[in-house]
Amino acid sequence: MRRCSLLLLGMSVASSIVQAADTANPVPAHHGMITATTGSAAIEGGIEILKAGGSAADAAVATALTQVCMAAGSWVSYAGIMTMMYFDAATGKIYNLNAAYNTVKAETDAMAMPGVDLTELLKDLRNGSYPPSGRTALVPGFMAGVDAAQRRFGKLPFAKVFEPAIRCAEQGVEWNPGLAAQYAFRKDVLSRLPETRAVFTKADGTAYQPGETFKQPALAKTLRQVSLHGADYMYRGEWAKQFIAALQRDGGRMTLDDLASYQVMWTEPMHASYHGYDIYVPGAPATGGVGLVEAMNLADVSNVAKLGRYAQSPQATFTLAQILKPAELFDFVSMDPKIFESLGLDRSLAARAKKESAVKLWDVMRSGRMPRVPAIPSVPAHSDAIVSIDQWGNIAAICHSINAVSWGATGINVAGVSIPDSASFQRAEIAKLTPGERLPDQTSPGLVVAKGKPFMGFSAIGAGLHSRTVTALINVLDFGMTPQRAIDEPSLGGFSFDADGGAVLTVGKNEFKPEFIAEVGRLGQPLVENDQMRGYWIGVQIDSKSGELQGGAIRELAMGGRVVGY
């Protein structure tokens, strides 16, 4: 699985559901602030929660819940996953919530599950190349994560944080051209089962047209039940029974015990010290955090900041490309451990987080001895990110994901909740685990602390989120940029591969001059313009002296990202 999350396939299609982004510079605030990758109305709902006396956790989960409603369950789902980093101002402690997927206990031979390898999946994104099957669903963590986060750090009644999402489901959202295009892409899938067809068509059976209001009454009922009874309604209650029945009708092997035994993990965050700052990201069993820690350690060891701003220095861009490769490439292929052992490199998660490992890795990289990586396709999926700060200085950084393509390819919908087919292309990863274990995810929201005081919360999505996060952190921490200024810098994206299988770093179209791209290529790192491999980073920064909040959001109008403070 790619970090939170993977290639946002058809982002301009999916995200045009939401309102346009603010194009003016975000206005600083002093009481509270929220920024998110999509969903202006969802962000407004989060601010409503902050103003009602809610905490950063209250506001973040309220925003996430409403984002799913606005997406109609397409690129994020109540049956998806969630990761949260949280700074608790009362204690000064940092917490990591892991609400990723569990595998299914009865699936003892993962490679026999219906699914495709990544190359085949990319050939037919519309329907996949396997029969629709309930076996492709994983045990979801999103709603358990919402429950655990709010009950531990929330200040409002649990039902209160559901109000914006329930209002969204009952009153409806505009069925705009973006949703219409999403539906057209998945029309056959969403028409396969009568209960799903009823959700996505009007009473007369016809499709919604742009400009019409799309309401989700079944979803509203489900959300009300969860707001009253907690996540248990989806893990032990009536929804759980309907979910298991729906999967088993399509051959699924998940049982009520899989749901009832699901537990959110509170894990020890990973940590990197960087130029006077402390960076905290998700710890094991998640794997996204270690990639970021490793990259920041490499940035420190290589002194890349001394080469100047990457957007102005070909040498800095070349060096950054090398820093980004270990997490961008090695994390997604199964390579013989002996290759790394012969180079004196320990690629275990614990070792990769250490500064001394970065020193060894950088020496290998500079000597030109890094092993060649087989070309790997970018896995498509969808996600959203949120950062919130409340009046007490608590910070929540969240990433939540469907980790599948546009509703998934099975078309299963249970009481208004779309069920993704996230196991279909992760069979190899699932096969490495004992059935029933937590599936490692590579989401990497994070927190930055300066001299013991909270400095910034951040999160990211997209195929190039690792590149975008590393470059944004360097821009803020080394060059003193605000989050918005860091976001507005030209973008480095993920890696693609040339005809010979060489790793090519993607950059935003028309963001670098041709002579700059050529110079980086002469240094030995090919660049190619490709907006489909972008990363999207957001952040909120707090001034420790004045308390002023500075936020940054994605400016692309189709994304609907926004910063709102008060």
Q: Is 107 within a domain?
A: no
d(CA 32, CA 47): 8
Of 92-96, 117-121, 170-174, 539-543, the range with the lowest mean pLDDT is 117-121
Of 10-24, 337-351, 456-470, the range with the lowest mean pLDDT is 10-24
Question: Structural domain of residue 328, as residue ranges?
Answer: 270-375+464-543
Give the pLDDT mean for 452-467: 93
Instruction: Quote the pLDDT of residue 374.
Output: 61
Q: Is 289 within a domain?
A: yes
User: Residue 479's domain is classified under what CATH number?
Assistant: 1.10.246.130
The domain total for the chain is 1
Instruction: Quote the pLDDT of residue 8.
Output: 33
d(CA 195, CA 175): 19
Confidence of residue 95 (pLDDT cuts 50, 70, 90): very high
Q: Is 83 within a domain?
A: no
Of 112-116, 305-309, 445-449, 535-539, the range with the lowest mean pLDDT is 112-116
Rounded to the nearest integer, the mean pLDDT of the chain is: 89
Q: Give the bridge partners for 85, in sequence order.
A: 96, 397
Model confidence pLDDT, tens digit, residues 21-74: 344 567 888 889 999 998 889 999 999 999 999 999 999 999 999 999 999 999
Instruction: Quote the pLDDT of residue 474.
Output: 98
Q: Is 78 within a domain?
A: no
Q: Which tokens is 74 given?
A: 């397409």
Confidence of residue 4 (pLDDT cuts 50, 70, 90): very low
Of 23-37, 200-214, 230-244, 261-275, the range with the lowest mean pLDDT is 23-37
Q: Is 243 within a domain?
A: no
**Distance in angstroms between the alpha carbons of the first and the last residue of the chain:** 37
Give the pLDDT mean for 460-468: 91
Q: Which tokens is 105 given?
A: 């206990």
54 DSSP assignment: -
Is the pLDDT reported for residue 507 higher than 80?
Answer: yes
Instruction: Quote the pLDDT of residue 348.
Output: 86
Query: Which residue would you say has higher pLDDT here, 369 or 201?
Result: 201
Give the pLDDT mean for 414-425: 95
Q: Is 549 within a domain?
A: no
Q: Which run of H or of E encompasses 150?
A: helix 142-153
CB atoms within 10 A of CB 533: 25
Model confidence pLDDT, tens digit, residues 175-187: 988 888 889 999 9
Instruction: Quote the pLDDT of residue 554.
Output: 84
Instruction: Quote the pLDDT of residue 23.
Output: 40
Instruction: Quote the pLDDT of residue 204.
Output: 92
**Percent over 70 (pLDDT), the chain:** 89
Instruction: Quote the pLDDT of residue 314.
Output: 97
Of 86-95, 358-367, 379-388, the range with the lowest mean pLDDT is 379-388
Model confidence pLDDT, tens digit, residues 553-564: 987 644 567 888
Give the pLDDT mean for 435-444: 92
Full-model pTM: 0.92
Of 252-261, 357-366, 475-484, the range with the lowest mean pLDDT is 357-366
Of 79-93, 236-250, 495-509, the range with the lowest mean pLDDT is 495-509
d(CA 463, CA 210): 29
Q: How many angstroms separate the Cα of 342 from the Cα of each of 301, 336, 346, 348, 370? A: 22, 10, 10, 15, 11
Model confidence pLDDT, tens digit, residues 115-127: 866 555 555 555 5
Instruction: Quote the pLDDT of residue 3.
Output: 39
Give the pLDDT mean for 458-481: 95
Contact 8, 75 (CB under 8 A): yes
d(CA 554, CA 34): 13
CA 542, distance to chain mean position in Å, is 23
Give the pLDDT mean for 532-541: 92
Q: Is 537 within a domain?
A: yes
Give the pLDDT mean for 83-112: 97
Instruction: Quote the pLDDT of residue 306.
Output: 97
Q: Is 59 within a domain?
A: no
Instruction: Quote the pLDDT of residue 404.
Output: 86
Q: Which of 378, 509, 274 is nearest to 8 (CA)?
A: 378
Q: Which run of H or of E encompasses 319?
A: helix 314-329
